[in-house]
Amino acid sequence: MVETDIQSKYSLITAFASLKTTGPIFYSGETIKVDVEISYSKWIDNPETIQIKSIIAEGFEITKIDPNLPVEIKDGEKVVISLELKAPQEGYKGN
């Protein structure tokens, strides 16, 4: 499982992350591939489009983002953002 947390003033944004690199354990410096699917549904008084301006992978170094940010999402659309993350050198304990 990959955890997502959305920081936005718009309430109808969903994000689902899926791990593309197999294996339950990752070693320091290893590259981990993750896809993040983000969708947007316009609500009353919300804009027709939103922009994804940043992604944070706490404790990990993001080495690649595809497509490059910012990414615009229109009402009713979704986008998949592929990430390559470098596992921390030490001290990370988490899911």
pLDDT top residue among 54 and 93: 54
Residue 23's domain comprises 13-86
User: Cα 46 from chain centroid?
Assistant: 22
Does 51 fall in a domain? yes
Does 1 fall in a domain? no
Strand extents, DSSP E, the chain:
13-19, 31-40, 49-52, 61-66, 71-74, 78-86
| Nearest of 66, 73, 51 to residue 20 by alpha carbon | 66
Number of domains present in the structure of the chain:
1
pLDDT digits (tens, 9 = 90+) for 22-31: 877 888 889 9
Given a cut of 60, is residue 95 above it in pLDDT?
Answer: no
pLDDT top residue among 18 and 90: 18
Does 2 fall in a domain? no
Does 7 fall in a domain? no
